[in-house]
Structure formats: C-alpha cells, structure tokens
Structure 1
Amino acid sequence: MELLVLRLDHLKARSAYTTTLKTWLQESKLNGRLVSRGNLHVLVMEGPSAGIDTIAGQFETEPIDTNARDERCVDRFYDIVGREARETAKLKSGFTDMQLLNDAMLEKLVIDEWGVPRDWLDAARLTDRTKRFLAWKDEAKLARKQGRRRTAQVRDETKLKKREEKNKRQKLEQDAAAVNADSDVDDAAK
C-alpha cells in the first residue's frame, strides 16, 4: 500500500475534473480525497502501488481538465508533493471532494486523520502556483523575449540593408553627376 500526494495548480472545470478523477480512482482501486482551500488544491491518494503507478501515468497522458477553448486537455500543472509506502489504510474507501474554509481544518484532515507528513503540506503551501506552472511561465516568458529579440534583429538587418542601398544609390548618383559635370566642363572648354 502506498500514499501519493499531488498539488494541483487549478481546476478549470471542477465537476468534469472530479468526475474523471473518481473514475480513474475506481479503476485503479484507490481511495482519494481532493481538498481545496483558496487556491491550494491537494489530492491525497492511497492504495496498491500498481494503482498509484497507473494513476500517475494517467495524469501524464490522459485528458482530465479543459483548456481556455473548453477542449479536454491533459493537466500538466501539478506537482508530486510526496509518495511513500504505508502499512495500513488511513483513508476511507471511495473518493471525496472537499472545499475547506480554514487552515486548521485542512491540517486536521490532511495531517492528523490522513497521515500526510507536515513537511509535504508545507511544501504544497510554499508557492501560490505549482512548480511546473512557474517553470512553464518562465519558459514562455523567455520564448517571448527571444521572439522579440529575433524580430528586432530582422528589423535592424532590413534597415541596415535599406540604408546601404540608399548610400550606394546616392554615391552612384553623385558619381554620375560628377561625370556629367566633367563632361559639361569639357564641352564648354571646346
């Protein structure tokens, strides 16, 4: 028997998310609790290690949430807070979704009743968003910055080419004007 705790970043379509999650847990013969307190969403799962492996794989490959276009998508923004073996089951069978009003109730349920180590809960509370989301956000920011840099580089190269062409044209015009002036002077001298 194993315990797995996930920190979910957000639940865009909560009812669809919990319905899918409940199905996954039943198929994997796991017990689970989804606890929300403000923007903190903690998923506690307990059961056979084969079931834990199965559900961890499902989170990576199968759609569970919806994106901004209301299309089903894989939830990439979650962190594995902890995973450990356990001797006896502490969760009652089935799946329950709870939204709590205070931190004391969260700690009482997660730490005292379900036996999740305190440092796991503290790690989940450490940031407003999951580590995966923050990493994705930083990567997206860097990609935008590099895109702007490439655009500026192309723009500057285009400006430089136009400036060089203009300078060449002016030089040719000046040379042509100088040749014409020389020929006019030669014609006047004759």
Structure 2
Amino acid sequence: MPQSRIADKPTIVPEGVEIIVDGENVKVKGKNGELSIKLPENLEIKQEKNEILVVGKEGIVKRSSDNKRLKALRGTYTSHLRNMIEGVTNGYQKELDVIGVGYRAQLQGKNLVLNIGYSQPVQFPIPEGITVEVPQPTKVIVKGIDKYQVGETAAKIRKLRKVNVYSGKGIKYVNELVLRKEGKKV
C-alpha cells in the first residue's frame, strides 16, 4: 500500500507567522493567535529561512519497522503543523443548519441556546478559544484557530439533535447530504 509523502516536502511558513522551537515544544504565532504542540522524543524540526521540515532524530532507526513508524509520525506532525499555520493565519469555520418547524438557535452570553424539539431549550456552553455566530435563527457558524477544536465543537452541537432520516428535522452540516427514508405504508 503506498504511503503518503507529506513529510518529504518542506512546509512553507508565510509572512507574519513565527515558529518557535523549544526542545520538544513548538509554538506557532500568527495574527489570529498562538497554538502549541509537543513533538514525540524521536522527532525534531529543521528550520531554513521560511521553510520547516519534520525529521527523525539521528540514531533512532534500529530496524526496518522503526523506519515505517517514524515516517508515519513525520507525516502526522507535518499535517498538524500545517493546520496550525493555516489556523493562525486564516482560521477555520464550520457551518450548521438547524432544520425543523420551531427549531432555532440564539446566543445568550457565553451559551448557545437551541430550541430543537425538546421540552426545554438546550444550553450549550461555548468552549474557550471558539466563537459562535448565529446570523439567522436556523444557521450556526463555529469559528476558531484550532482545526480540531472547531470540528469537535461543531460535532458536539450536531450530536444534540441528529437529523431524523424520516422527517428531516435536526442539526446538520451545511454541505451534508442526508438520505431520506420513506415511511411505512398503510
């Protein structure tokens, strides 16, 4: 099975982004904020001008299985760093649709309040580092600089009321396709 070669190409660091390597800790600073990650002990970062490369430390590979694992780790952490650079420069966002008669969303302080067919409105506390916008009562936009935190928050909101395949009511991603099922015939 062919392996990805993400780690073999250097990552270009755009203007306005600063990468600080302190042993195993790596900080990425940009106009939107700062993110950090801890590298495993067998990886290090080489910096040249505006390019970075995740490489294995010298003397780590003892057998061929170590080389395969190291290559996978390099690809994973290269992707993490690229996502961090993208996050501090442009940020990430996920859009959700609230579908159903009487279903709506609104912001109240640091909580997202959802009326989604339960007897009481659902209060969803917004995590630190995430901003939530409600441009319309049926649309929720989750924004932030950490790709994983944005995705996790959007998934938690969606999980509060998954789309019913029979009625079509619930919370879904904007570009998500929900296959509708036909009800029972009498």
Q: TM-score range by the shorter chain?
A: under 0.3
Q: Which structure exhibits the higher relative contact order, with contacts defined as CA atoms closer than 8 Å and separated by 6 or more residues? A: 1
TM-score (norm 2): 0.26
TM-score (norm 1): 0.26
